[in-house]
Copies of this chain bind each other. A is one copy, B any other.
Amino acid sequence: MARKIINECHLLPFDLGVRMESMNDMGASSDMLDPGIEVFFDSAPPLKDDISIKRKVKEFIELNSSSSNIHAGNKTVRRIVCVTSGGTTVPLEQRCVRFIDNLSSGHRGAASTEYFVKAGYAVIFLHRRGSCQPYCSTLPEYPFLECFELTGESSVQVHQSHAEVVKRALKSHHSAVERGQLLKLPFTTTFDYLQMLQLIALSMKSLGPLGSFYFAAAVSDFYVPWESMAEHKIQSASGPLDLRLAQVPKMLKVIRDEWAPMAFCISFKLETDTSILLEKANMALRKYDMHAVVANELLTRKEQVTIVTREGSTTVRRGETESDSEVEKPLVKLIVDMHSDYIEESTRIGCEKA
């Protein structure tokens, strides 16, 4: 459970109402960006449907930060977290046939989304198209074909063996959507992902410390700049293929510095080599000014993770019972508690300043 904010003055330092002016002026002023970022965004093919995405994000934030969602008696407000999930692709050709991808299934982001919703958050689920969806992790690989059967000519039934998981999944998903707690936005390429992230972050700026980012997506470190990309499919006849990929600039720091500086930010570090994992997580914490970095090792990432903060590190493990079987449960609980402390702290500082 998210802790309740009991400080009366929590509305003072940041405005819960959506600031229309910042929503209408979403482009970050480009002279504040570091040159690598400018090159990246200049090189990116324009995001399709950006107007519709902006509108959805704006409406979702308005809905979840409007007074009807603030239960004055309890002094609770609905926090909003943007959970990023799944891997981003890197096109190798403009008319993309081939691309670089990474193994992320999106399970971490999807499962965490469920626990954030349970803790009362509204979640913007920024996910790789086709990756794991919240409430679906306990289902078979192809739930549609494996869970249902036709009885007689016209009646569809759930297989008895899957009845419980199917009902639980449909019920939980439906109720999250019904309560306006879940907005799902799909991406495919690294170009799409980072443009959508910028748009969401600028929209969430007005939420101050009630906004949060949980960067579970596996964003490619390398990319081929659009203009240096082959237009047509690379031909295979001419021997081995040599590729030179540029580094994707790190956007985490820009979110902290400019796009949504008050948002509570959690990033992830995945390595296959445990000997460098904690050191790399600590480096990321400082370099990108994160509030916490979740360190996970490829082979044990479903069993345990270590949450690294400036104060030290905490390892959480999944439990033995069915209701405790996902490591995302204690992970999200810890993050929610840290977020509560962060909001209290930010509010206190805001009050002192006021």
Contacts and interface: CB of A to CB of B under 8 A. Distances in A.
Given A130-B130, A240-B245, A298 B97 contact: yes
A5 interface: no
B243 A239 contact: no
A197 to B, nearest CB: 18
Contacts of A142: 133
Contacts of A143: 143-144
A63 B158 CA distance: 29
Nearest to A220: B98
Contacts of A218: 97
Interface string A146-184: 011110001011100000001101110110000000000
A328 to B, nearest CB: 19
Nearest to A139: B144
Chain A interface size, as a band, is 35 or more
Contacts of A221: 236, 241
A9 interface: no
A95 B245 CA distance: 21
Contact of A273 (B92, B102, B233, B240): B233
Given A99-B102, A102-B97, A171-B150, A236 B247 contact: yes
A194 interface: no
A233 B147 CA distance: 37
Q: Which interface residue of A129, A135, A144, A243 has the most chain B CB atoms within 10 A? A: A144
A154 B136 contact: no
A244 interface: yes
Interface of A: 89, 92-93, 95-103, 129-130, 133, 135-136, 139, 141-145, 147-150, 154, 156-158, 166-167, 169-171, 173-174, 218, 220-222, 231-233, 236, 239-247, 270-273, 298-299
Nearest to A130: B130
A173 B148 CA distance: 11
A147 B135 CA distance: 15
Contact of A96 (B97, B103, B133, B157): B103
B241 A244 contact: yes
A272 B93 contact: yes
A149 to B, nearest CB: 7
12 contacts: A89-B101, A98-B103, A99-B100, A99-B102, A100-B101, A156-B166, A221-B236, A222-B241, A233-B272, A233-B273, A236-B247, A241-B244
Contact of A244 (B92, B231, B242): B242
